[in-house]
Structure 1
Amino acid sequence: MERLKALVGKNTGSEALKYVMKEYPRFCAHYREEAKKQREREQAHAEMKRALCGYVEALQRLQAVALRE
C-alpha cells in the first residue's frame, strides 16, 4: 500500500484506492490506444521488411543475369 500511495501521490490508502478506481477507465483507454499503436508499428515494420526482401531478391536476380552475360 505504501508503494501505491507513493506512486499516485496520495497520503492515505483510501485516497490512493479511490484515485486508482477513478482513473481506471482512463488507464484502460490509454492501454488500448498504446496497444493499437504498437500493432500498427509492427504491421508497418512487416510491410517494410517484405518490400526490402523483394528488393534484395530482385537485385540478386539482376546480378545473376549480369554475371551470365
Structure 2
Amino acid sequence: MREEINRVTIGLVRAIAGSAAVRAAPSCDGTLRAAEASVRRDLSVDRLRTAALTHALRSVCARPFAGPA
C-alpha cells in the first residue's frame, strides 16, 4: 500500500512540475473553468463539493481562478 501511495505522489509531483507553462498560459482559466463544469455535470456534484472544488482550483492558474461562470 505504501509503495502505491509513493508511486502516485511521485506522479503527481512530476505532473505539477511539468505543468508550469500550461498554468501560466492565458487560456488556463478558461480551460480550468470548462474542466470544473464537466466534473460538476458528470459527477452531479452538490453545492458543498462544488465550493470545495472551486476553492481547491484557485491556486492552479498563475492568475487567481474566479470559479464557476
TM score, norm. by length of structure 1: 0.31
Q: Comparing both structures, which one devotes a greater share of its residues to helix?
A: 1
Q: TM-score by structure 2 length?
A: 0.31
